Every structure is written in structure tokens, then in C-alpha cells.
Structure 1
Amino acid sequence: MARKRKGRDISGWLVVDKPAGLTSTAVVNKVRWALQAKKAGHAGTLDPEATGVLAVALGEATKTVPYITDALKAYEFTVRLGQATNTDDAEGEVIASSDARPDETTIKEALHAFVGEIMQVPPKYSAVKIDGQRAYKLARDGEDFEVEPRPLWVEELVMLDRPDPDHVVLAMTCGKGGYVRAIARDLGEALGCFGHVTCLRRIWSGPFRAEDGLTLDQIDALAHSPELDSHIRPLEEGLEDLPQVRCTDAGLARLKNGNPGMVVASDIDYGEECWASHDGRAVAVGRFKAGELHPSRVFNQ
């Protein structure tokens, strides 16, 4: 018999302003402990040394994680020009260097090549899988391997500051699966001077913003208290990018059992993915077909 997981049945989102020096998994574990939650996960991994918004899904909200993962995200980061590292960030070893330092105009012109639909090769020290194994593990073991390029949508990439000849501060808005370290690496190569990330902060992810997040110190201070519960945001915020339909009373009963149910909709195309609500609460996500929602995920709130 499967062991029943202990904890509270709470659903929603807690937005964390992640500090440097912790993995995303460690942050999720801290949140789960502080809320005594039965189930928790995060939407979009941040590197250990990165800071900023990490949206932690609780309970039934974990079913909406893919929609936040797919949403646009914004980053601010600093690139150290003149050096390449084996990890593409400041944690790695310098493997190449250059005395070349491009001027601001050259940098701004080079950024255009990284906007729109681009092909990006993730860093070798990343969580992508190569023949079933994580790339970072193969890299640490000294294995020789190649990472295949993958498509990435970059909405915007702009220069914010040039504090000194060795550094440039950039802001990027991109879609799912983007590696800021790869942008720094490839920009350095395009400029002929090498480059790696020294500082990275995620400003927002979908509807969640870093300035609205709690720090880990705040979470520690509020642990196991109703005040921490008051910071939990509705599950429905994770569905913001999907159109909404409304269940009929009869449709509600059918959808709760995982069956197609009648919904009231406007401006929804046949086969379009959407979410159904009843009294403002999410009931299911699915495809709209001939007046019914055919559910792929059902929420038990």
C-alpha cells in the first residue's frame, strides 16, 4: 500500500524572491516546510547563484505549472567581457580570454541577432538530458559530448548599462527554455571577445514579479502562521494566459468527474485550449468543442 504523504491540503502560489546560493529545489523544500504543505513544485528553474522570482506552486496549482513555464519571463544580467568559462558563469574556470573590448554601438548592433526566433545551444553545465543523463553530470565527469541546439523565442534584448569596459548590463524577455548563460557566451563569441554571466536576476515570470515575492528570511519568520497563508495567491493566476469559459451547473458535475461538460463561452475557437470556472474558481483545463470543455486537467479545490 502506498504511503500517504503528510501535510496540509493547500492550493495556490507563493512567490519567492530567491537569494543567491540556493537551488530552486531547496527553496521549494523551505516553502513546503514553512506552510506544512503536502505538495509543492516550482515553475522554471533558476541557477543556484541567480536571484529573483521563483513561483512555488502548492497542491492543485502544481497542475498549472506548465502554463507558467511556457509564459514569457524577464531577466536582468551582467556579462563579463573578455573571458569565457566552462560553465558560462562566474562559478566556472576561465578557458579563454581576450583583450578586445567592443564599444557600446557595436554591442547594441550585435544584440539584434539574438532577438526573435533563434536557435540556442544550452550550456554543457545545464539540466538538459543527453542520452538519459543530465548534461552537467556528464560535464563534471569529463565526458566528451555535444548539446543539440533548440529553438528559443526572444521577445527583447537590450543594453541597460556599460559600467566599465569589462562589463555590460542587459535585459532580456524570452519564452520557455532560455539560458541566459548561453546568451552571454554567444554574444561574447559574436563580439570576438568572449563573455560569461556574473550576475543574473529574474524580474518576472508570467504574472509573478520579484518585487511581490517574499524573501526566505520573511518565510522563516512567518513559518507555520496564518500570516504566511495570507500571501498565497489563487491557483487561477497560473492560468492567466489561457482564455476562460464558465461551467453550467450540469457541466460542473460532469467536469468534476473528468467528463466533457457544458460551458458558456464567447470568442473561443473550436479545439482551443481554455479553462473553465464556476463561481470564479478553476474547475478544469481542456479543449473547447461544440459547447463543451473536454478536460485534460481537473482541479479538486
Structure 2
Amino acid sequence: MQDETLGPSTPPRAIPAAEARGAERGFDEARRGGRRPQRGAPRHDRPKKKDVSGWVILDKGVGMTSTHAVAVVKRVFNAKKAGHAGTLDPLASGILPIALGEATKTVPFVMDGRKAYRFTVQWGVETDTDDAEGRPVATSELRPTRAQVEAALPSFVGTIQQVPPRYSAIKIQGERAYDLARDGEVVELVAREVQIDHLSVIEHDGERTVIAAECGKGTYVRALARDLGRMLGCHGHIAALRRTRVGPFVEDAACAIPGLEEAGPEGVTAHLQSVETALDQIPEVPVSRDLALRLMRGQPVILRGRDAPVEGKAFATCGGTLVAVGDVERGELVPHRVFHLGGTAPQRD
């Protein structure tokens, strides 16, 4: 039950010549609200899917895979392209940010954001998967008190070394750890450095403890429950897990699949957040139309003004429309991703 990551950073992308030649036309069409169909194109050859761009903050239910959730949202919006920012296992519920269209280019920024969870540890049994679906591998008659759990939690706060679960998506010599484990192979995973910012007990009844957690990418909550049980000498596994936050996306803004399906084609766009929502942790740089066109051709531009960032990541907008995101180096914005926000793409408030 880990937030998968696309890596620490996204390398610069070479802008194809065809895309560069069409940058100005694409920018103008985006400002008008969408691309025009090619003249003379037969009606039956036109794509049926829509150019929908933005974020859907889905409250995924228990029993559904993340892949299935993306497919359902993509169908509801009739979108051409979709992806998600951070896998949730079928047994987990909660926030699953789904990117549509051009928003898929901002997925790494959401993946790098902080996550919050609420999870239940069942004491007395450790399983091979570290959750309720696994086979018991160790048991104990001991049960911790609330005070004992609270006293153990500080040992897991901060930058710690964590061994991922045997059943995880980590690759070992090109193979997924869970595939090797299912084939009966002994999987020895190396501890990795993760960051856990906060842990606190919400409820405790002797047999189970509900814990709130805030952590960084790459943290496995299942491994945390396993290690906590071992420290307390009573063993434990995850009985329930809910993700309550991913980067800027929280429960209050989330919607469930039944609500999306009931909203219909007209009402469903009310659940679409702007592409820039994913970029809340980096500065915005308004640019002129001429500079916007340079950025969309993959060319760096010089940033002027006392409020312009000197170093680090930033995103550029022109007239409220997202143009590019990249790195500011010595006063120049070097674009790594450019955007063509035509079709259905909500603007920020």
C-alpha cells in the first residue's frame, strides 16, 4: 500500500519539429477553447473521445483496483487520455487523484507531494502480505495497551530505514517483488530511506489500533504496521487503510464514482479541477504572448521583474492559461513540459 513514484524528477523532453511548428496555432486554438477539426475530414473519421484536461479527485472504494477506477473515470468523461497519481490497493480506500489529458504531464508533482493516511492495525497476527489478505506467518497472545503503542510511535517518525513488504511493486533484477513472492521465491528486500512526519493514535480497543500518519513518497504503511507489531512483541497487520490526502488533494474535494455517473455528461465537469492545481507548491510566472510562444516551441525565456524566481521549478501562464512548466536557471525558464489546453479544461478560480 505504497504511493508509487515516477522518480525524483522528470528529465527535459526534446520538442518534436512538428510540435514546434504547430505551437503558435495550438496556443491560439487553446485560447479560443479548443482545436478545430481538419477541413474535409469525414465525420466518421473524427475522434469520438474528447480533449478533456484536468484533475478528478476520486474517493476510491474498497474492492476496486486503481486501474479500474481510472478506466471508469475516463469513460464517464469520455476522455482521450487518463492516468493516476499514486496506486491504492483494492483493500484500501480514499484519495486517488486521476489526471485527464494534459494533466497527466503534472503527475510527478503530485507523486512528490505529502500523503496522509488513517489505518487500522490488527494485533496478534503478522501475515506474509502485511495485510488482511495474506497468510499468517507469526502469531502472539500479547496485546499492547494504548500507552505502549503511543510510546513506540516516535521511533518511526522522521527519516527512517524501512524494508518494503515482500508483496510490493519493487523490482528485483527486473522482476516485481510480488511476482517472485507468488512464485514461492524467497524475496530479500533492502531497507530504503523514507520520511514519516507524523503518527498519532486515534482509537484503541485492545485488539485493534487506529493510527493517523503523514509521510512522504515511497513509504509503505503495511511495513509500518508490521514493524510496529514486531517492536511491541505482539505482531500485527493492516486490517483497513484509507488515504486522506495526496499533495494538494484532500477528502473535502473528493467525489465517488456513483456521484460521477449520476451527474451525467453535463454535470460531471463540475468535478474537474484545473491542471495547475497539481502545481501549488511551485511559483507561477505570468508571461506575454510572445514569451508563451517561445516556451511552447521548447525555447527558454528570460524572466524579468523583481518577483520572478531565480532558481528552481516554476510554471508559466499567459492570460490565465497554463503554458509550460520547467526549471528556472540563472534567471531563465527552461521548459520541460508544454501544454495545449484546448477542449474541456477548467480555469482556476
TM-score by length of 1: 0.94
Among 161, 169, 172, the residue aligned to 1:130: 172
Among 297, 300, 324, the residue aligned to 1:260: 300
Unaligned runs of 5+ in 1: none
Q: CA RMSD in A?
A: 1.6
2:29 aligned with 1:29:
no
Alignment of 1:136-151 (within 5 A): 136-151=178-193
1:16–1:214 CA contact under 8 A, matched in 2? yes
CA distance, structure 2, for counterparts of residue 278 and residue 269 of structure 1 = 17
Deviation sequence 1:200-245 (CA, Å, 0-9, x none): 001111111123211111122234x121022110000010111222
2:154 aligned with 1:81:
no
Secondary structure at the counterpart of residue 230 of structure 1: helix
Structure 1 residue 94 displacement after superposition: 1.2
Structure 1 residue 31 displacement after superposition: 0.5
CA distance, structure 2, for counterparts of residue 289 and residue 216 of structure 1 = 42
In structure 2, relative to structure 1, the CA distance for the partners of 1:139 and 1:254 (3 Å cut) is same
Alignment of 1:92-131 (within 5 A): 92-131=134-173
2:311–2:331 CA contact under 8 A, matched in 1? no
Structure 1 residue 76 displacement after superposition: 0.3
Which gives a bigger RCO, structure 1 or 2 (Cα 8 Å, sep 6+)? 2
1:246–1:263 CA contact under 8 A, matched in 2? no
Structure 1 residue 268 displacement after superposition: 5.6
Structure 1 residue 271 displacement after superposition: 3.4
2:143–2:206 CA contact under 8 A, matched in 1? yes
2:149–2:232 CA contact under 8 A, matched in 1? yes
Among 166, 185, 190, the residue aligned to 2:231: 190
Partner residue, 1:201:
242
Secondary structure at the counterpart of residue 271 of structure 2: coil
CA distance, structure 1, for counterparts of residue 123 and residue 184 of structure 2 = 26
Structure 1 residue 267 displacement after superposition: 5.3
Structure 1 residue 5 displacement after superposition: 7.9
Secondary structure at the counterpart of residue 22 of structure 1: coil
1:247–1:261 CA contact under 8 A, matched in 2? no
Aligned letter for 1:219?
A: L
2:167–2:177 CA contact under 8 A, matched in 1? yes
CA distance, structure 2, for counterparts of residue 5 and residue 154 of structure 1 = 46
2:216 aligned with 1:175:
yes
2:203 aligned with 1:161:
yes
1:236–1:281 CA contact under 8 A, matched in 2? no
Aligned letter for 2:51?
A: D
2:309–2:331 CA contact under 8 A, matched in 1? no
Deviation sequence 1:126-179 (CA, Å, 0-9, x none): 1111111111111111111211221111110111110x2110010000111111
CA distance, structure 2, for counterparts of residue 266 and residue 181 of structure 1 = 47
CA distance, structure 1, for counterparts of residue 83 and residue 303 of structure 2 = 30
Partner residue, 1:286:
326
Structure 1 residue 269 displacement after superposition: 5.2
CA distance, structure 2, for counterparts of residue 297 and residue 206 of structure 1 = 20
**Which is richer in strand?**
1
Structure 1 residue 262 displacement after superposition: 3.3
1:246–1:265 CA contact under 8 A, matched in 2? no
Aligned letter for 1:213?
A: A
Structure number, greater radius of gyration = 2
CA distance, structure 1, for counterparts of residue 266 and residue 175 of structure 2 = 42
Unaligned runs of 5+ in 2: 1-45, 342-349
CA distance, structure 2, for counterparts of residue 56 and residue 15 of structure 1 = 6
